[in-house]
Structure 1
């Protein structure tokens, strides 16, 4: 028994239709940035942190670690990864560093959680 192959048996390009679609596809730089952002929330720990930030607006690492039930070091590591893909921003407040979702981070977190049937409620 042969495996089915997921390709056409003949060249059947509908060039006008394919070209119209091709013109709407974002460039590779945009696609790469979007994939990086999506990958940023592709980890359960980072998604939990993002959900906590969505609910609490702005949190320091200490509060966030308590909220998600993980060590400060682990939370800090994941925050750095979220910051690297522009989903989180930070600011210094005296001796504290406060973190919040960027607008892009807020939208992506809401979309991911909504697609999973979960809603973020802000506190």
Structure 2
């Protein structure tokens, strides 16, 4: 008779290093912080938004027209994704005459670097 299959991601024995586990549990960020950080991660979960963010990392500051050309999408789609990144706090914008210029926030820059690693070059 064969044993039933066990998932490889579970312990075969219930063991708990309670002092160690409790220390880790008490040092975790609270739910509000985790929720906010998860929202940042979701903002880069779309390939187009990630491409937009990577372009900003590489180009420092871009207008919507340049961004649309760089990522190969229509201006309205590039603008939509830039608004989502701005809503998440990863991008800021400023008006320069008739242009709206976008750039990554410090948090956005750090997160894009972490997600893309050495796959992107910066200015």
TM-score, normalisation: structure 2 = 0.87
Aligned positions, number? 120
Supply the distance in 1 between the matched residues of 2:120 and 2:88 (Cα, whole angstroms).
23
Shift of 1:119: 2.9
Q: Which string of whole-angstrom CA distances, capped at 9 and with x for unpartnered residues, describes residues 56-112 of structure 1?
A: 111110111011111000001111111111000111112211110000000011111
Aligned pairs for 1:16-27 within 5 A: 16-27=19-30
Matched, 1:119 2:107: no
TM-score, normalisation: structure 1 = 0.87
Answer yes or no: is the 8 Å Cα contact 1:53–1:100 preserved in 2: yes
Aligned pairs for 1:44-63 within 5 A: 44-63=47-66
Query: How big is the alpha-carbon RMSD for the aligned residues of Structure 1 and Structure 2?
Result: 1.8
1:67 pairs, out of 45, 57, 70, with: 70
Answer yes or no: is the 8 Å Cα contact 2:92–2:105 preserved in 1: yes
Supply the distance in 2 between the matched residues of 1:112 and 1:10 (Cα, whole angstroms).
35
Supply the distance in 2 between the matched residues of 1:29 and 1:120 (Cα, whole angstroms).
33
Answer yes or no: is the 8 Å Cα contact 2:62–2:103 preserved in 1: yes
Could you tell me which runs of 5 or more consecutive residues in structure 2 were left unpaired when the two chains were aligned: none
Could you tell me which runs of 5 or more consecutive residues in structure 1 were left unpaired when the two chains were aligned: none
Supply the distance in 1 between the matched residues of 2:12 and 2:116 (Cα, whole angstroms).
40
Shift of 1:55: 1.1
Q: Which structure's CA Rg is the greater one?
A: 2
Shift of 1:24: 1.7
Supply the distance in 2 between the matched residues of 1:74 and 1:41 (Cα, whole angstroms).
15
